Amino acid sequence: MGEFVEGFEFLADLKKEVTFFGSARIDPKHRCYREARKLARMLGEAGFTIITG
């Protein structure tokens, strides 16, 4: 239970965050995979915290 609370406390301190949901089975060569990585990079450079889910 402590890890759960610590996780929420960590997330509460974030100001700008975005979560990406996907599949572990998608081929890294797939266009959607490449576009998601590109978008995550751009958002990270703009100051967003990237969270995977």
**Per-residue confidence (pLDDT) for residue 53, from 0 to 100:** 81
Residue 44 domain-assigned?
A: yes
**Per-residue confidence (pLDDT) for residue 19, from 0 to 100:** 92
Tens-place pLDDT, residues 1-51: 788 888 888 878 888 999 999 888 999 999 999 999 999 999 999 999 999
Residue 21 domain-assigned?
A: yes
The boundaries of the domain holding residue 47 are 16-52
Residue 6 domain-assigned?
A: no
Residue 10 domain-assigned?
A: no
Distance CA 25, CA 1 (A): 31
Distance CA 53, CA 32 (A): 16
**Per-residue confidence (pLDDT) for residue 11, from 0 to 100:** 79
Q: Can you give the pTM of this predicted structure?
A: 0.74
Residue 4 domain-assigned?
A: no
**Per-residue confidence (pLDDT) for residue 10, from 0 to 100:** 83
Residue 36 domain-assigned?
A: yes
Residue 34 domain-assigned?
A: yes
Residue 7 domain-assigned?
A: no
Domain count, the chain: 1
